[in-house]
């Protein structure tokens, strides 16, 4: 009698702890709560609230096959939930990584990150990448895309509950991940292409000047010139590029929710 009475609270607690591990890892990657200025305490509080919101979706008071919940099985479930949170965080961060990649390529091309070219172990952040990252987070989640994020997370909690060690077919698809990263890389290169063309023309002009003035330090002179002209062009094109990026970013998040919804209907 006592074991039957304690079975439901024990299983409910295990499910909540697994969901909390999933949400904590996911929020550590998603840029809204994974930014440098956000404290870990805030992240833990949001993860707790989100896990409590997802708990009824993953636990319906039924037998979750946790009667043999040994320490090894619970550890496996927690490790699996951490991997699921990593999977969710990567998928939800791709639109912001796209904008951040544009800033990183801009700083790399204008010479602000020359040290990392010779020593990749240097971890100095890209100033322009951080600026575009903050702007992307503000624009993306201020446009109402957070609703699709919550819908996608909730549907994944139903499709891959904490007691299941393996996902259903179609959810954790490797092709899905590859196509998502392909879209991120293609979008970053496409948005950076105008700046790249202008900077290459500046480099060509400085190279021609150095032919007629051998003592001219063309490499050192090209850095400030590319920085000023590149920033001016970026400001002029910010509205157009930002509009196209916002359409792509919101469309990507909406596509995640629609794909998860389609899997639920098929199931």
Alpha helices in the chain (DSSP H): 2-29, 31-34, 40-58, 71-110, 114-118, 127-142, 146-159, 174-212, 218-266
Distances (CA, A) of 185 to 10, 94, 110, 190, 251: 45, 9, 20, 8, 16
Residue 92 has pLDDT above 60, yes or no: yes
Residue 265 has pLDDT above 80, yes or no: no
Closest alpha carbon to 146 in 34, 260, 55, 31: 31
- pLDDT for res 166: 74
In tens, the pLDDT along 211-231 reads: 787 777 777 777 888 888 888
More confident residue, 74 or 117: 74
Helices (H) and strands (E) in the chain, counts: 9, 0
In tens, the pLDDT along 225-263 reads: 888 888 888 888 888 888 888 888 888 888 888 888 887
Mean residue pLDDT of the chain comes to 78
- pLDDT for res 1: 47
Q: pLDDT class for 4, splitting at 50, 70, 90?
A: low
Residue 116 has pLDDT above 70, yes or no: no
Cα separation, 241 vs 243, in Å, equals 5
Cα separation, 157 vs 152, in Å, equals 9
Mean pLDDT confidence for 187-196: 85
């Amino acid at each position: 009698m006592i074991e039957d009475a304690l079975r439901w609270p024990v299983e409910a607690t295990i499910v909540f702890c697994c969901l909390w591990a999933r949400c904590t890892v996911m929020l550590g990657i998603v840029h809204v709560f994974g930014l440098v200025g956000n404290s870990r305490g805030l992240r833990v509080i949001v993860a707790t609230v989100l896990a409590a919101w997802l708990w009824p979706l993953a636990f319906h008071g039924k037998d979750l096959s946790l009667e043999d919940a040994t320490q090894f099985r619970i550890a496996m479930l927690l490790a699996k939930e951490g991997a699921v949170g990593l999977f969710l965080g990567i998928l939800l961060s791709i639109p912001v990584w796209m904008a951040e990649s544009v800033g990183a390529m801009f700083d790399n091309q204008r010479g602000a990150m020359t040290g990392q070219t010779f020593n990749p172990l240097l971890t100095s952040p890209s100033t322009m990448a951080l600026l575009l990252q903050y702007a992307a987070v503000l624009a993306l989640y201020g446009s109402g895309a957070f609703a699709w994020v919550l819908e996608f997370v909730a549907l994944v909690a139903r499709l891959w509950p904490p007691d299941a060690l393996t996902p259903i077919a179609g959810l954790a698809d490797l092709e899905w991940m590859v196509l998502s990263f392909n879209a991120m890389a293609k979008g970053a290169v496409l948005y950076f292409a105008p700046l790249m063309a202008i900077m290459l023309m500046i480099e060509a002009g400085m190279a021609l000047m150095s032919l007629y003035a051998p003592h001219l330090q063309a490499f050192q002179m090209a850095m400030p010139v590319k920085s000023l002209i590149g920033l001016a062009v970026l400001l002029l094109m910010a509205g157009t590029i930002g509009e196209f990026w916002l359409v792509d970013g919101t469309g990507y998040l909406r596509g995640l929710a629609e794909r998860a919804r389609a899997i639920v209907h098929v199931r």
